[in-house]
Structures are given as C-alpha cells and as structure tokens.
Structure 1
C-alpha cells in the first residue's frame, strides 16, 4: 500500500487530486495534504510517504526548494504543474515524472503504476533530484544535463556531448563525445521527441544525429561523417530530408 503527500497551494487542486487518489487508486492507503513547502516539511517529520505530489509553482517557496531542504528521502516525487515548458523540460531531462494540471485520472493511474514498477536505489533518487535542481538553476536549456538510467546505473551528460543515438530494438545506444557508448532502456522515438527542439536529424530509421557534430556528408550522399570519425548511413527515403536540413542541396 502507498502513503501519499499532496503539496499544492491551491485548495481545489489538492482536493481534486485527493478525490482521484481515494476513488480510483486502491493501492493508496493514506493521504496527507500540505499547502506550502513549510507545511510539507513539518508533516514529513512524522510521516513517511511513498509518493509526494509536488506542485512546481507556489508562492513564497516553489516545489523545487523542498528538494534542496531535504537531506535524504526514500519516496518518489511526481511533480504537478500547469504548462511551464522550462520546468517540464528540466524534469524530463532528469528522468523524473510529472503530471500536467488539470490532472487526468488515467494519466494519474499510469504515474502510480510507474512508481510501483521502479527499481531505483536511494542514491539514484538523490542523484536525479540533485540534477533537476541544478538544471532549474541554469539560464540556458542547452546547459541542462540529461539523466539517463541504464542497467549500469545513471549516466549524466549535456546535449553537446551527444554525437548520435542508434536504435537497438526497444533500446537505444547513445554515443557520447570522448566517452564510451552505453545502452538506454528507452526507444529512439523517446529520445527523438525529447531532443526535438535541438534539431537532431533522423538520418535513418535507426539513427538520430546531433547536427553540431556533423563534419560533412559523403560525396555520394549516402553517409554523414561525425566528429569522432564515424559514418552514419542516410536512408534513401531520408536523403532529401537530410539534405534540406543541412542546407546542402
């Protein structure tokens, strides 16, 4: 069974989420409510939740400040936010979970299921939340560090360090500058959507390339040469799209 703490300054938002959890999520055994970061800190002195639903935008102290105030914790945090693209990107890049307001009951169920199937250590949780706080403090989204869990642990790197990503069935091999490649347990499509604003190029159904690391295209237009010397295939179907993207018609 799961104990839950809801932290949100809006009365209606707290009560709607409490209603959904009480009526649609049978795994939830106890719910506490807090209207501020300070109130949440006081509740946590005697209450050990499995999940905290944490509002991002609150007066006086925002949700991220609760992370910096807590020295250690074992619970998961699911952020709740109205449309704040910068905060959402920071959360996604840190491999953490969020729900958009108004919260949808089906999306809430999926978030609870993800929590129940997670296998992160306390140390990994702390690393992910610390990375989020660091990302939020940055002024440029290109300076964000991505956190990508794998069977070997969590890898952290910036956008500029990515050379290319390669599909391997339902996994993705990530090739980084001056580092060995590793396998992430997410599809290439997942990373393509996450990196969309950075104009990564899908040269082939199996390849996604960082345009900042493209040195040149081969004379026969069949390969792209990457800064580490590797060659990435351009599929016949993608050739015109790649040429247009690189402005080399």
Structure 2
C-alpha cells in the first residue's frame, strides 16, 4: 500500500511538532500532510480533502475536538484523540475513535493506537481493491456469457447455459445448475437481479429462472424447469413472462 496520510490538529505548536517527530521516527509509512492549530481551518480543509488518519486534540479554544467532528458533513478517516484528560475516554469512543492517547504521549501508547488505525485503513483499502476487482471481473465475465458467483472459497465462473435457477435464501443466493449441484453465494439475489438480463427472468422476489430451461407454466402460479423443479411466479411478473414466452 502507498503511504498513509495523516493530519495533526492541536492548538499548541509544541504538541504538533512533538507528535510529528514521533510519527516520523516510529512510522515511516505515515506522511503528515498537514497540521492545524486553529480548528476552524482544519474544518475547512477536512470538508475538501480527507486524509487516512487524523490525530485530534480534544481541548482547544472555541471549538473542541468533539465539536469539530460534528461540523463535518462526512468522516472518511480514522481518528486518534490526543488529550491530557483521561475522563474524555468514554466520549472519545462514542465518537467512533480508533483509540486515544494521553499527553505527554508515551511511545508504546502511540504505537498501539496507530497500529489499530493502520489495520483498519489497510483492510479498508483491501476491501475497496476487492470491490473494484469484482466489478471488473463481473463486466468481463458477463460480456462472455458467464455468471460470476462470489462464494466463501473464492469466485466461480459458470456459463449461463449451465444455470437453471437462482434462488434467494436468508440473505444468500443458491445457484441451481444443470448437473443437479448447487453453489451458495454470499451475494444476495438483488445483486444478481441487477447484473442479469435475457435469458434470465426474475419471476418472484426470491427467484430468477433461465428462460431457455422453462418447460411449462402452471396456472396456480408456478413455472416448471427442465429438471422438473417447480418455481413460484408472482402475479406481478406473470403477464411479462407469458408475453416473453409467446413472442
């Protein structure tokens, strides 16, 4: 991962410089990109540009650290509160801080707090990278008539023609295949509904069928697949389904 960016906010310049020196010595992978003595200036900057990590003093004139956070429209960074007063700890965690350190700052306390923040930041970056990869894979695989199925073990790539029926189940999705096997995906059925079109048809809030695998329609509200399985079809989708089958 590239360097972690950080901002230090403290009304006393000596505290800022001391913390900067510790960060530079203990964490060469963290770059302090800005410092602020005035909380008002920090708010302006954070509304425009947010770093990965903010070291935030609590006791400051005019606007304390807690109030500073409430004035931001979004918080997309990790927070380590820096305070001389231990009684602020509970309130600090109510503000979703990663940790807090007491002044004067002990190296061990700083290392513990920063490592917690780094773990969260790195995991977030990994999750974002995985999301982008999945998006690219989905686009590529869909263009090649394959269904991308995220599972606990990894990702399966199944040709459309091997899929009979997709079933939503307690927040997960079961993909029923021609060979009578089933793959369980961590995606909910809504995600599959959003990426699939013809020859797949959503016939029920919890069911998507492969139209080429449908062999009959039953008036009581079911479609029958080529393996004999009956899948419910809701009234909402029945007319559209019949129109598609009679074209």
Compare relative contact order (CA 8 Å, sep 6+) and give the higher one, 1 or 2. Answer: 1
Structure label with greater radius of gyration: 2
TM range (shorter): 0.3 to 0.5
**Superposition TM-score, scaled by structure 1 size:** 0.44
**Superposition TM-score, scaled by structure 2 size:** 0.44
